[in-house]
Chain A
């Protein structure tokens, strides 16, 4: 199954929820926000939100800025 994460096409196992997917990546989850198809997915919904084929996922976090 294919999804797009931060602009890159990625193959993932089917029936994976957001928390499981994030667990496969080396990401410090403090302050991370997940958008799927331009809709913010709240942290408490990560476990119950399954990724679907063709989903456009944005993983966003804080960086330095003025």
Chain B
């Protein structure tokens, strides 16, 4: 069965977007990307540390992978726009994850600034994937100004709490039909990823739960399978939940005959 995720006319087989932060060993990253079957990975931009001859992360990411540069560190729309322009100049494409955060305790994205940045960057031809707090009005505004997907948080970044924002994300899934909904942040276990996909999310983005597992390669494979399972379950249109038992074996009894 052909079931593709399409973002900005790009057809993708994988519904697993992988983050590359927090990996203890960079050589593990390459194997993890392979195990995840991800076709999109996120990266960030930082000042080069001139005192330390550190490895270039790009050498661990295969060439056929789409780089989705985040704007982490941006506190407002202008800073996000500046980071995105730098990312494009680096020469690895024009996909950008807008992340505007002003709060260091909860790391919640600022939807208003995110909409502003999305508008500017989409007009400049970027493929813009905004990280946002799941709010229907904000999501509609993001679609209106040219977002290529909507990325609501499942729960707080790095918290591994799962899809705590379930009700609000369900509203986005039901109402936003023009672009994919990608649950980003907070997914800590494969069962939670499967749950998001069963709900009808188009994809999930996971970083911490993979990078900080004892065995990132193995958990990446587990996530890939759970995301696939959740997707298939969604497509299968699952049976309804009932409050009373309904026998699955025939009870017409020969015992009583």
B91 and A66 form a contact (CB under 8 A): no
Q: How far is the CA of A32 from the CA of B86 in the complex (A)?
A: 9
A residues whose Cβ falls under 8 Å from a Cβ of B: 5-8, 25-28, 30-33, 35, 38, 40, 42-43, 58-66
Of the four ranges (under 10, 10 to 19, 20 to 34, 35 or more), the interface on chain B belongs to 35 or more
Taking the closest CB of chain A, its distance from the CB of B247, in whole angstroms, is 47
Closest Cβ of chain B to A28, distance in Å, is 4
What distance in Å separates the Cβ of A13 from its nearest Cβ neighbour in chain B?
17
19 A-B pairs besides A30-B59, A60-B90 with CB distance below 8 A are A5-B50, A6-B49, A7-B47, A27-B50, A28-B59, A31-B56, A31-B91, A33-B45, A40-B89, A62-B90, A64-B20, A64-B21, A64-B44, A65-B43, A65-B44, A66-B44, A66-B72, A66-B185, A66-B208
- Are A27 and B21 interface neighbours, CB within 8 A? no
Contacts of B58 in A (CB 8 A): 30-31, 62
A35 cross-chain contacts in B, Cβ below 8 A: 86
Residue B30 at the chain A interface, CB threshold 8 Å: no
* B residues in contact with A58, CB < 8 Å: 47
B85 on interface, CB distance cutoff 8 Å: yes
> Which B residues have a C-beta under 8 Å from some C-beta of A?
19-23, 26, 29, 42-50, 53, 56-59, 67, 69-70, 72, 82, 85-87, 89-92, 157-158, 185, 205, 207-208, 211
Question: Taking CB as reference atom, which chain A residue is nearest B210?
Answer: A66
Is there contact, CB below 8 Å, between B43 and A63?
A: yes
B60 CB to closest chain A CB, in angstroms? 9
Among residues of B, the one whose C-beta sits closest to the C-beta of A8 is: B50
Q: What are the residues of chain B within 8 A of A62 when measuring CB–CB?
A: 43-45, 56-58, 67, 69, 90, 92
B90 touches A32 (CB 8 A): yes
B33 to chain A, nearest CB (A): 12
Q: How far is the CB of B195 from chain A (nearest CB, A)?
A: 20
Query: In the complex, are the beta carbons of B29 and A66 less than 8 A apart?
Result: no
Chain B nearest CB from A56 CB (Å) reads 12
Which residues of the partner chain B approach A65 to less than 8 Å between Cβ atoms?
Answer: 19-21, 42-45, 69-70, 72, 207
Separation in Å of the B43 CB from the closest CB of chain A?
Answer: 5
Determine the chain B residues whose CB is within 8 A of the CB of A63 once the complex forms.
21, 43-46, 57
**Shortest distance in angstroms between A8's beta carbon and chain B's nearest beta carbon?**
7
CA distance A60 to B245 in the complex (A): 61
Interface centre among A7, A27, A43, A64 (most CB of B within 10 A): A64
CB atoms of A26 and B53 under 8 A apart: yes
- Check if A30 sits within 8 Å of B48, measured CB to CB: no
B45 cross-chain contacts in A, Cβ below 8 A: 33, 60-63, 65
